[in-house]
Amino acid sequence: MAREGDMQALDPIIGELALQLGDEELFLGHRDSEWLGLAPEVEEDVAFASMAQDEVRHAAFWYELAEAAGFGQADALAFDRAATERRHAALCARPNGDWAHTVLRHYVYDAWDAVRLASLAESGDALWAQGARRMLREEHYHHLHMEKWVVDLGRAGGEAAARLRAAFEALLPDLPDLAAFAVDPQALFDLGILSRPVAELRRAFVARMAPTLTKAGLPVQDVEDTLAAHPREGPRPVAHHEDAAALLATMNGVRSLGAAVW
């Protein structure tokens, strides 16, 4: 896709960030797509297919930026990099759990993504800012949708609330690495790519989720404590690659046959 706007002088760290964002959107988008035909309602089949389409296209945008930064061809960045080379937050590649886990995982990811995109939308780089603003409009619908599900499951009580609580416990340890960066966030801030330091983004992340988690009966304090225990002021640790390896094997299963035209 040809674009307007121009890239400022590129620091390799900016390309690394583009790879991180691409990997996260691609992996979560792929997990979304795995619900096709299996979601509990036909509307959710459509919703998850639609969100998958959005996330994968957002991934393509970030990989194209990485390509512009000299990291190689976008399709190769998306499909050919080994699991050990990926820069995603572990949460994005986790296998799909039950519906409560799926909903809550997407909700926390969308909440963090919205905070991150809002900061990128104020970036000094026109192309990054324009892309982020476009994505914010699209992510808005994901967030509204997931927020409603989280509150509905929590308020339903019984098995729904119990499963939501179990999902919360399972996802909690992944939150510090989600609300972090694969590269040094201070360097991103100094370069003007991020408009706010990571600690501020994390505060905005908690503030954004607090009313929804409270309505759903989930303890916001646990999120704050977990994030505080792992500040991640530098680059976060690399995610274990087993989940990504399995995901890539499935995603590339047809492509690796070699006969397909892309």
Partner 1 sequence: MTIRSLSEEAVWQALARVPDPELPVVSVIDLGMVKSVSVDHRGARVELIPTFLGCPALGWIADKVRAALAEQGFEAEVAFALGVIWDPSRITPDGIDKLRQMGVAVPAKSDAAPVACPYCGARDTDVESLFGPTPCRAVYYCRACRQPFEAMKP
**Contact positions vs partner 1 (CB under 8 A):** 1-5, 43, 46-47, 49-51, 53-58, 61, 126-127, 130-131, 133-135, 137-138, 141, 144-145
Rounded least distance, CB 45 to partner 1, Å: 9
Q: Rounded to a whole number, what is the distance in angstroms from the first to the last CA of the chain?
A: 16
Distance CA 253, CA 255 (A): 6
Rounded least distance, CB 110 to partner 1, Å: 13
Closest CA to 104 of 51, 44, 151: 151
Distance CA 94, CA 88 (A): 11
Q: Are 62 and 21 contacting, i.e. CB atoms less than 8 angstroms apart?
A: yes
Q: Are 189 and 181 contacting, i.e. CB atoms less than 8 angstroms apart?
A: no
Hey, what amino acid is at 132?
A
Rounded least distance, CB 224 to partner 1, Å: 30
Nearer of residues 87 and 145 to partner 1, judged by Cβ:
145
Q: At what angle do helices 242-251 and 12-33 cross, to 10 degrees?
A: 70
Nearer of residues 135 and 171 to partner 1, judged by Cβ:
135
Tokens of 260: 């397909």
Nearer of residues 55 and 243 to partner 1, judged by Cβ:
55
Task: Give one word for 46, left, alpha or beta, with left for phi > 0 and alpha for psi -120 to 50.
Answer: alpha
Rounded least distance, CB 167 to partner 1, Å: 22
Distance CA 30, CA 64 (A): 18
Distance CA 258, CA 239 (A): 29
Nearer of residues 70 and 137 to partner 1, judged by Cβ:
137
Nearer of residues 123 and 202 to partner 1, judged by Cβ:
123
Rounded least distance, CB 234 to partner 1, Å: 31
Rounded least distance, CB 49 to partner 1, Å: 8
Nearer of residues 60 and 90 to partner 1, judged by Cβ:
60
